[in-house]
Amino acid sequence: MVFERLKNKEKLYTVIVSLLGMCIFATEVDIHSQSLKDWVLVYILTGSVVLLNLFPIILPPKANSFSMDSAVYLATLFLYGLNFTLQVLFIFSLIELYRNQRMSAWRHLFNFSMYCLMISGAYYSFLFFDGNIGKINVHHLLPYLISLLVYFSINVLLIFLFFYFIGQIFKGALELGVLKEACVGYSVTLLLSMVLAILLSEEKYFGFTSVDYPKLYIRLP
């Protein structure tokens, strides 16, 4: 009886999160607002997210790993806003749906909706604390820190509730070591997202390589 109740709550929770994510996507995304050059950048960023998920960063001592796709989403969010970022997320989700067919479609939808909630939460918290979309201000880091904190908090909350409703609580989720690893991972995510945002703002398609590397070649005898 208890198992059936938890299963019903899990389904209800999944439906609610999925509906919220789809509503955010439907209200915030306008595919007609992008130019042809913008779509090229959308595809490039989507490709980078795909590669980051194919080749995650391995962490010692055990077979732990994490992907830096969140760094791409946050960098895109800081530079191009919510509409642009959700389009990158949507195309990646379609690719992931085709690539990972062993996972059920509703789980793909749930993951997509989770990211929609996380990205939109980070976006509006960034704006609320006077963040400026389109320009990276290294002298005013509070909006970036708050947006990352909101992004992380929504992620943890949604995952915690999911496991709660399926009857599997994280026994070690609040251990100090686990929290330290999470903080380090998200600190790296914020740092890399800002580095990527700076590179994208300087050279949209190729970053610093299109500027500095030719100069290095010229200096060689």
* Torsion sign (Cα): 55, 56, 60, 62: negative
Distance (Å, rounded) from C-alpha 106 to C-alpha 208? 40
**Mean pLDDT (whole number) for 120-135:** 93
pLDDT digits (tens, 9 = 90+) for 43-86: 989 998 998 888 766 555 454 556 688 888 999 999 999 999 99
What are 29's two structure tokens? 């995304």
**Mean pLDDT (whole number) for 164-172:** 63
What are 54's two structure tokens? 């194919």
Distance (Å, rounded) from C-alpha 100 to C-alpha 105? 10
Q: Which residues contact 211 (CB under 8 A, 6 or more apart)?
A: 202, 203
**Mean pLDDT (whole number) for 172-201:** 69
Task: Check if the beta carbon of residue 197 is closer than 8 Å to that of residue 75.
Answer: yes
Domains and CATH numbers, the chain: 2-219 (1.10.1760)
* Torsion sign (Cα): 136, 194, 160, 7: positive
Residue type, 62: K
What are 31's two structure tokens? 């595919």
Q: Which of 12-16, 122-126, 140-144, 160-164 has the highest mean pLDDT?
A: 122-126
Q: Across-strand partners of 59?
A: 64
3-state helix, strand, coil in the chain (%, to 5): 75, 5, 20
CA 35 to chain centre: 23
CB atoms within 10 A of CB 180: 10
Q: Which residue is it, tokens 């938890």?
A: 6
What percentage of the chain reaches a pLDDT higher than 90?
Answer: 33
